Amino acid sequence: MDKIKGHIDWYILLPISALMLFGLSFVYSASSAYSGLKLDSNEALFFSHLGKVILGLILMIVFAKIDYHVYRKISKSFLTISVLLLVMVLFIGSSAKGATRWIDLGPISLQPSEIVKFAMVIHFASMLSAKQAFIKQFEQGFLPFLIWLGLISILIALQPNFSTMIVVLLIGYAIMFIGNVNLLHWIGTLLIGIFAAGLYLISAPYRMKRILSYLGMGDATSAAGSDYQLNQALIAIGNGGITGLGPGQSRQSNLFLPESYGDFIFSIVGEEFGFIGLVLILAAFGLVFWRGLIVAKNAPDNFGYFLSVGIIITFAFYVFVNAGVNTGILPTTGVPFPFISYGGTAILLYSAAIGILLNISAQTGMYPIIANQSLDDSLEEEDDDDDDDDD
């Protein structure tokens, strides 16, 4: 069958659009009680989120129309600017709950840690596509990745933002593994990183409380207790049962569950739509992940392959970590649920990333799924100008 290029990949666009639109109702239900008490009206957070969803959908379409090869040329500059934003947030950032993570720009605020994740994915994809000839070497093939990843992790740790730092490390190391770096270098530095992260973890009492809570040794009765949120989240999911209490019928969102419209919205969905609702949401993400891997397999070149995989890995980590936290599988961390949690910088960046994935899909020419060029074949055909992206 002939390849048809320029198509819209409905297997990606429809599930993501549905998640964003259904997420509007989830955010309204989860935030109305808080908005009514703390803000002007019950709909304050909903309308704020609505504006970001609309802008996100527009960004998705715009980025789907931009040739993804453009990002390879600007990847280093984009990552450098993102790192500078991480430095700036330490000096001029807005503080909340003991952390400095946002740059306030009046009507909008930026969260540089969200920006730097996708900048890292793009530049790592660019470097991997350029370095395959000597990817097994330490100095030329592995060290540049390590320097970038170490710098980003340290700056995020200084905010402090332990959960995001861990997610960034995991994403970076996963992409390097896919990129076929030297396994001894990968394992050795990963073990060192785990040790350093462990020391950082025990350096602050509140982080130790989270670990003790995860081990069942926290205070479940006080709202200040480290496992209070988890217990309220589990109550919400338990209330929902198989089919849920119904739209807008959540009890735990009535100020019982902190961050019910943010990091813990997954549990509110479970309360209102039950186990079936949660399975449908995870199935939608599963469809996108499956399709994303198909896009990567059929990508026209190495950069498209690594970029597709990097985007899918990033979303997969976020979905797994957020669902794991809400169900008690993982310790409590501040990681939003993609496309559904209330947010600003995150949902716009997520939309742009999906737009990039849609553009790669359109350039594969697979409609329906058609096997294209294997990674091994594409490695031999990489353009000579790849050497320009070697740091």
- Tens digits of per-residue pLDDT, 233-243? 999 999 999 99
- d(CA 340, CA 19) in angstroms, rounded, equals 7
pLDDT bucket at 5, cuts 50 / 70 / 90: low
What local confidence, expressed as pLDDT, does residue 42 receive? Answer: 78
Please give the average per-residue pLDDT across 225-236, as a whole number. 82
pLDDT bucket at 283, cuts 50 / 70 / 90: very high
Q: Is residue 3 part of a domain?
A: no
Q: 8: Cβ–Cβ under 8 A, 6 or more apart, which residues?
A: 64, 358, 362
- d(CA 79, CA 115) in angstroms, rounded, equals 9
- d(CA 308, CA 314) in angstroms, rounded, equals 10
- d(CA 322, CA 319) in angstroms, rounded, equals 5
Residue 162 has pLDDT above 80, yes or no: yes
What local confidence, expressed as pLDDT, does residue 39 receive? Answer: 78
| Range 108-144 burial, b when 16+ CB lie within 10 A, else e | eebbbbbbbbbbbbbbbbbbbbbbbeebbeeeebbeb
- d(CA 283, CA 20) in angstroms, rounded, equals 15
Q: Is residue 268 part of a domain?
A: yes
| Residues 194 and 170 sit within 8 Å (Cβ to Cβ) | no
| Residues 302 and 129 sit within 8 Å (Cβ to Cβ) | yes
Q: Is residue 4 part of a domain?
A: no
Sign of CA dihedral 36, 264, 99, 338: negative
The structure's pTM equals 0.87
What local confidence, expressed as pLDDT, does residue 218 receive? Answer: 56
How many domains are there within the chain? 1
Around Cβ 308, how many Cβ atoms within 10 Å? 25
According to DSSP, residue 388 is labeled G
Give how far Cα 170 sits from Cα of 203, 211, 281, Å.
Answer: 21, 19, 23
According to DSSP, residue 371 is labeled -
- d(CA 312, CA 288) in angstroms, rounded, equals 8
What local confidence, expressed as pLDDT, does residue 220 receive? Answer: 52
| Residues 294 and 357 sit within 8 Å (Cβ to Cβ) | no
Please give the average per-residue pLDDT across 200-217, as a whole number. 70
Residue 192 has pLDDT above 70, yes or no: yes
Q: Is residue 5 part of a domain?
A: no
What local confidence, expressed as pLDDT, does residue 185 receive? Answer: 94
Greater confidence (387 vs 96) lies with 96
What local confidence, expressed as pLDDT, does residue 308 receive? Answer: 97
Q: Is residue 83 part of a domain?
A: yes
Q: What is the DSSP string of 83-143?
A: HHHHHHHHHHPEEETTEEEEEE-SS-EE-HHHHHHHHHHHHHHHHHHHHGGGTT-IIIIIH
What backbone phi and psi angles, to 5 degrees, belong to 301?
A: -155, 175
Residue 81 has pLDDT above 90, yes or no: yes
pLDDT digits (tens, 9 = 90+) for 291-346: 999 999 999 999 999 999 999 999 999 999 999 999 988 887 778 899 999 877 78
Sign of CA dihedral 39, 226, 157, 78: negative
What local confidence, expressed as pLDDT, does residue 125 receive? Answer: 96
Bridge partners for 109 per DSSP: 104
- d(CA 37, CA 370) in angstroms, rounded, equals 54
3: tokens are: 């390849």
pLDDT digits (tens, 9 = 90+) for 138-147: 998 999 999 9
Which of 239, 231, 329, 232 is closest to 275 using CA atoms?
A: 239
| Residues 234 and 327 sit within 8 Å (Cβ to Cβ) | yes
| Residues 79 and 123 sit within 8 Å (Cβ to Cβ) | yes
Greater confidence (232 vs 370) lies with 232
| Residues 170 and 202 sit within 8 Å (Cβ to Cβ) | no
Q: 205: Cβ–Cβ under 8 A, 6 or more apart, which residues?
A: none
Please give the average per-residue pLDDT across 279-301, as a whole number. 95
pLDDT bucket at 197, cuts 50 / 70 / 90: confident
pLDDT bucket at 366, cuts 50 / 70 / 90: low
Residue 223 has pLDDT above 60, yes or no: no
Terminal CA-to-CA distance of the chain, rounded, Å?
Answer: 40
Q: Is residue 53 part of a domain?
A: yes
Identify the domain containing residue 32 by its residue range: 10-388
Which of 286, 287, 282 is closest to 269 using CA atoms?
A: 282
What local confidence, expressed as pLDDT, does residue 6 receive? Answer: 63
Q: Does the N-terminal peptide bond of residue 368 adopt cis geometry, omega within 30 degrees of 0? A: yes
